[in-house]
């Protein structure tokens, strides 16, 4: 079995693949203060609940946007699974040609998502990752990663609104009944949920025009399902895009 690890700023997403089948997934809060043994214990417990053990893992692929945690998890994999993990970085074979000004500046998760989207859906393609940040990526039909755009994520915007004002409070991020909010809760929901839907719709239109039209649009990330109905631009929402990309890249490395 293959363990795929996506180490993000807010969450660490783990998935176990049995061949091409994603047999189990888990999410942990990203905590830079935890030691490798603590993560190992947590993972052991999670795996045991699914009838799995560390001995079932024969390979590991990981990507990370949290540099301090990358070597820690790599060491954990060596000690815990007796496996030298594939760490996606500059120079890793991904099937994607990076045309960024400095390819090393592109987050590993963005390239993993691009590799998965191109393989699963074909190009040209626009990936909208709605996680800690809202990230747009553009890939041509030939597999050229052109670049993208980065905006604050919905949760970051929501938390900043709460922490920077005296009378506004946190609300559930769901679509309001109408764009014109009749109370503060609905007004915040309108501004954030519907506002981000318009951000996604507008940026996708601009990207599609630059790509020459006809691009597929794939949503991923924790907030994509909230925006899916409001934006009306996603051809598919794939919450496991990054994990699938790690599996595909691991297969390329064999």
Residues that are catalytic: 109
CB 224 within 8 A of CB 188: no
Q: Which residue is it, tokens 């598919």?
A: 236
CB 4 within 8 A of CB 62: yes
48, 16 Cβ separation under 8 angstroms: no
CA distance 254 to 23: 21
Beta-bridge partners for 217: 126
Distance CA 98, CA 116 (A): 14
Give the Cα separation of 152 and 136 in Å (integer).
12
- Scanning the structure block, which residue is given the tokens 């490798």? 36
Question: Which residues, 6 or more positions from 144, have their beta carbon under 8 angstroms from its beta carbon?
Answer: 96, 97, 99
DSSP 1: -
């Amino acid at each position: 079995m293959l363990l795929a690890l996506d180490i993000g700023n807010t969450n660490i997403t783990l998935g176990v693949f049995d061949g091409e089948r994603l047999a189990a997934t888990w999410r942990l809060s990203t905590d830079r203060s935890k030691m490798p043994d603590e993560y190992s214990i947590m993972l052991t417990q999670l795996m045991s609940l699914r009838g799995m053990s560390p001995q079932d893992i024969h390979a590991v692929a990981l990507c990370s946007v949290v540099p301090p945690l990358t070597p820690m998890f790599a060491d954990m994999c060596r000690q815990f699974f007796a496996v030298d993990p594939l760490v996606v970085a500059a120079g890793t074979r991904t099937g994607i040609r990076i045309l960024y000004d400095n390819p090393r500046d592109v987050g590993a998760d963005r390239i993993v998502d691009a590799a998965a989207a191109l393989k699963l859906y074909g190009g040209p393609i626009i990936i909208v990752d709605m996680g800690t940040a809202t990230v747009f990526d553009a890939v041509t039909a030939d597999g050229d990663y052109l670049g993208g755009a980065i905006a604050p994520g919905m949760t970051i915007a929501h938390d900043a609104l709460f922490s920077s004002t005296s009378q506004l409070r946190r609300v559930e991020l769901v679509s309001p009944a109408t764009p014109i909010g009749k109370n503060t809760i609905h007004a915040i929901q309108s501004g954030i949920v519907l506002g981000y839907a318009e951000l996604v719709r507008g940026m996708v239109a601009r990207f599609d025009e630059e790509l020459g039209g006809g691009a597929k649009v794939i949503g991923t990330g924790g907030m994509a399902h909230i925006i899916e109905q409001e934006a009306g631009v996603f051809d598919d929402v794939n919450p496991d895009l990054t994990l699938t990309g790690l599996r595909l890249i691991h297969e390329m490395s064999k």
